[in-house]
Amino acid sequence: MKIFIIFGTRPEVIKLFPVIRELRKYKNVSVKICATAQHREMLDQFLKFFNIEPDYDLNIMEKNQTPSYVASQVFLKLEPILRKEKPDYIVIEGDTTTVAASALCAFYNKIKVAHVEAGLRTYDKWQPFPEEINRRVVTTVADLHFAPTKRAKENLLKEGVDEKKIYVTGNPVVDSLLYIANLDFNSFDFDLKKLNLSLESDTKKLILVTAHRRENFGEPLKNICYSLKTITEIYKDKIWIVYPVHLNPNVWESVHEILSGIENIKLIPPVDYFSLIYLLKNSYFVMTDSGGIQEEAPSFGKPVLVLRDVTERPEGIEAGVAKLVGTQKERIVNEAIKLIEDEKEYNKMAKAINPYGDGKAGERIARILASTSGVEIGF
């Protein structure tokens, strides 16, 4: 059985690593890997960390690239590879433009598609953009849907997907998170050591911030930054903020224009995943417009303030581990104040149960994929 795994960004490889690791345990399964490099630097950091060497690297990233550019390059460069390899399945994860274009390219070449993290929805095509439409496109052509939660499965059923093709597996991001969290942090030379960013010695509470979504470019991102500035002014002696800033000029320039030079705000370059987990473990709470970190932070009991108006991960909101706060300054500041001042409010979120999985999603996905070959599969 031939499995062809495609990813383009750091979150994709983080979530596909457990699947790759488990699939390689099967004797009768051949695994090949293709990186589109939709994001180059951040992808390479993680490939190196986990010693994953792609069989193919499309190397498509360009400065200020658009979704249309990414999609066109994936189509042009991926199709000849798929025709050469003729895999039984491509495996893709999530909702990037790499994922949508790869799914369509496989469909055009009559190759089956397995979609990890299927069924996430906001039902607003502009939020997140372009991810909401990307994942809906994948759903229409996928042959296997690996839903992280029951809610995601329900979304797929409402859209007419055959229940026999849907499997609730948990999210493999939890697998990767637990794997990394169990490593000896002191034995690795990770980004934060190079930045000389000492966390244990600081008596202030650390707030971790990640904000880079396309729909927040412009005024929403500026509102977020002014909110952070206000919070640090109110609690100058109590908190500090670490903000790994995305390299996209729309993010980098706005953030540095507003937040550079503030004593208790550390603006740092994007960090490797190991460093991100280290920051998560040492944080008090998280403020983010990202998707994956909404699933990762609850594994460490860290409350999440989601800097968006909608989320495709409502399970976290319902479980009480996360709260939607939007991008308006007053609301963001007030919700942050609650977590800093009100211990009861903080504990209510910090002690809620993580709804995203038990760390065995990769194992389940690999087993299901291997079983579709129709032949006896052994280790």
Catalytic residues: 95, 117, 131, 212, 214, 246
Q: Which of 340, 308, 337, 342 has the alpha carbon at shortest distance from 325?
A: 308
- Contact, 5 vs 102, CB < 8 A? no
CA distance linking residue 272 with residue 128, whole number of Å: 24
CA distance linking residue 139 with residue 145, whole number of Å: 8
Could you give the C-alpha distances from 282 to 149, 241, 363, in angstroms and in order?
27, 12, 29
Q: Which of 93, 97, 187, 222 has the alpha carbon at shortest distance from 145?
A: 93
What does the DSSP 8-state code read for residue 379?
Answer: -
DSSP secondary structure of 178-213: HHHHTS-GGGS--HHHHTT---TT--SEEEEEE---
State the amino acid at position 294 in one-letter form.
Q
Q: Is 113 helix (H, G, I), strand (E, B) or coil?
A: strand
Q: Spell out a b/e string for 127-160, using b for 16 or more CB atoms within 10 Å of the CB, else e.
A: bbebbbbbbbbbbebbbbbbbbbebbbebbeeee
Q: Which of 94, 95, 102 has the alpha carbon at shortest distance from 129?
A: 95
- Contact, 231 vs 239, CB < 8 A? yes
Our CA dihedral for 79, 85, 86, 90, rounded to 10 degrees, sits at -70
- Contact, 251 vs 211, CB < 8 A? yes
- Contact, 43 vs 8, CB < 8 A? yes
- Kindly state the helix (H) or strand (E) to which residue 378 belongs, with its residue range: none
Q: Which long-range contacts (CB under 8 A, 24 or more apart) does 183-187 make?
A: 183/274, 185/274, 185/278
